[in-house]
Structures are given as C-alpha cells and as structure tokens.
Amino acid sequence: MSTGRRVLLVVALPVVLIAAWWVASAGSTSFFFPPLRTILGVFPDTWLTGRIASDVLPSLFRLVAGYLIALVAGIGLGMLIGLNPLLRAFTEPALEFFRAIPPPVMIPILMLFLGIFTPMKVFVIATGCVWPILLNTIEGVRGIDDVLRDTSRVYRLGTAARLRTLVLRGASPQIMTGARQALSIGIILMVISEMFAANNGLGFTIVQFQRSFALPEMWTGIILLGLVGVLLSIIFRAVERPVLAWYTGLRRSQRGGN
C-alpha cells in the first residue's frame, strides 16, 4: 500500500466525523450543544493564552510520571511472579482482590495520606496503570517456549543475559499490549484525579468551565483531551515499532513460509 493511500485511510474517518458534527450542529440553538463553529472559534483564546503551561503541561507531567512508575513496577514484578510458580500461586488471590478495586474509589482515602497535590494524582494514575502491565507481563513470561528456556540453560546464559534476551524479549508483545491498555487508563485517571481538590490541570479546568456554564470552552477541553490521546498514541506506536521489530519480522516470515 502506498504512503498516500495509507495517509488517506488514516484521516478519512476523522474528516467525515468532523464534517458530520459541523453540519449537524450548524443550526443548533441549544445552550448545552453549541455549533462546532463556535467551539472552534473559542479554542485559541481558551488554550493558547497561557493554559498550555498552567494546565496542560502539569497534567501531562502527572500522566507520564504515573505511567512510568507503573511501567517499571509492572514489568519488574510481572517478570518476578511469572518466573516463579510458587510466588504466582501465593500472590494470585491478592492480585485479583486489589485489581478489582477501582482507583477512583481510593482517591478520598489517598487524599488523607498524600494530600491533594501532585503525589496523590501520580499515585492514582500509577495504581490504575500497573494492572494491565503487570498481568500481561506475567502471562507473557509464562508463555515463553520451554524449548527456548532449555536452550538458554544449555548455552549457560547468565541470569542477566537470560532475563534480557529471553524473558523480557519473549514477553515483549504482551507487555506492549498491556502498556497500550495502561496508557488509555492513565488518561482517564489523570482527568478524574484532577477533578478532586485540584487547582490546575485539564480535568480541573474542564470542570470549572462546566460549573461556570462556559459550555463552548468546556467542549474545547474535551476536544483537547482527544487530541492529547491521539498524540500519545502516535508516540506509543513510534516506540512500539522498533521494540517489536523482531516479532513483526518473525510473523511476516512465518506468513511468507506458509
């Protein structure tokens, strides 16, 4: 498929949806659903006059910090539990218990211990993001071929080399799947955590617009959140491609062989 055709396929649906929204809302007189023309008209004055630094960047910092903490903790603990059947059996009930607790429910409790500032919000994001990474890492490690494990023992690979070249690499497709799921969860938790006793951030600003009945500005915040999600997805895909290059090459060769 040519590059031009690929780009056309990527942008076709967003263009259609934007056009449909524009046409459907063009004659709207509803206070709660203003025309898209009005929303886009107030977008620059709402976000490009200082709120990028005061609200968007702090939100992104919290998201990235919580996500990276979850990534390190999830992969590290996942490899440890996945390699040890006894530890896996011992921790499984506790993992299932804590995984079932929605992180937003813990926000009032965390506020008592961590306050209302950035550490609490980062912790909420990390605790929500860690589960898909952790569980996918455990399953990825468990699914590594026994023949490859035996081969690494025959070649007497050291512990560090075995973890790096066999375990981490072999589990990387599922780890990346968990990391992608965690990114979406992180964006949701970033917004929710900023709705509780915050003084800046995307979630805080959107709620302030809603409470002051600045509905076009509120809609611009929702659109901006979507754009942030698209940008983060593009960045994730750019990182994922080289990390899984060996895996996509292997799948391509297997399809060619068949």
Q: Is residue 14 part of a domain?
A: no
Q: Is residue 21 part of a domain?
A: no
pTM for this one? 0.90
Assigned token pair, 121: 């919000």
Give the Cα separation of 136 and 125 in Å (integer): 18
Q: Is residue 168 part of a domain?
A: yes
Per the structure, the complete domain to which residue 138 belongs is given by 36-257
Give the Cα separation of 66 and 60 in Å (integer): 10
Q: What is the pLDDT of residue 189?
A: 94
Q: Is residue 4 part of a domain?
A: no
pLDDT tens for the chain, residues 1 to 258: 567 777 787 788 889 999 999 999 998 888 899 999 999 999 999 998 889 999 999 999 999 999 999 999 999 999 999 989 899 999 988 988 888 888 888 888 888 888 888 899 999 999 999 999 999 999 999 888 777 777 777 767 777 878 787 888 889 999 999 999 999 999 999 999 998 778 889 999 999 999 999 999 999 999 999 999 999 999 999 999 998 888 888 777 777 655
Give the Cα separation of 244 and 248 in Å (integer): 6
Give the Cα separation of 106 and 109 in Å (integer): 5
Q: Is residue 18 part of a domain?
A: no
Q: Which of 177, 166, 178, 176 lies closest to 141 in space, CA to CA?
A: 166
Q: Is residue 145 part of a domain?
A: yes
C-beta of residue 185 within 8 angstroms of C-beta of residue 128: yes
Q: Is residue 86 part of a domain?
A: yes
Q: Is residue 17 part of a domain?
A: no
Q: What is the pLDDT of residue 11?
A: 83
Tally the residues of the chain. Answer: 258
- The alpha carbon dihedral of 251, 165, 148, 82 has a sign of negative
Report the number of distinct structural domains present in the chain.
Answer: 1
C-beta of residue 108 within 8 angstroms of C-beta of residue 49: no
Q: Which of 111, 246, 92 lies closest to 169 in space, CA to CA?
A: 246
Q: What is the CATH number of the domain that holds 122?
A: 1.10.3720.10
Q: Using N-to-C axis directions, what is the helix angle for 36-47 and 3-25, rounded to 10°?
A: 110
C-beta of residue 129 within 8 angstroms of C-beta of residue 184: no
DSSP characters for 155-169?
TT--HHHHIIIIIIH
Q: Which amino acid is at 71?
A: L
